[in-house]
Amino acid sequence: MLAPSIIAHALNGILMLAAVIVAYMNFRVLWHLDPYKKVMILLVFSIAIGIHAVSHLGLETVYGLNPLKFLS
């Protein structure tokens, strides 16, 4: 059975991918938003990516999980 942190990390990655897909599908609407809302959306994506990166660091430290080793 997988550790809860690994499950949470995978779920976080899936949700971030879904958010990117929804943003891509609504690109025209996002393009016409005022600059303040664009900055807020970018900041939310930045926070999500940062948290996901910290989760990678924890998984590498605790479990030795390195997703790049699957590519080589």
Average pLDDT over residues 27-46: 96
Q: Give the rounded percent of residues in the chain with a pLDDT score beyond 70.
A: 99
pLDDT at 72 over 80: no
Going from the C-alpha of 50 to that of each of 1, 29, 40, the distances in angstroms are 27, 25, 15
Q: How confident is the model at residue 1 (pLDDT cuts 50, 70, 90)?
A: low
pTM (whole model) above 0.75: yes
Is residue 63 a contact partner of residue 10, using CB atoms and an 8 Å limit? no
In the Cβ-directed half-sphere of 15, how many Cα atoms lie within 13 Å? Answer: 11
The residue range of the domain holding 23 is 4-70
Domain count of the fold of the chain: 1
Residue 68, both tokens: 């790049």
CA Rg value for the chain: 15
Nearest to 62 by CA among 15, 11, 16, 2: 2
Average pLDDT over residues 28-52: 96
pLDDT at 8 over 70: yes
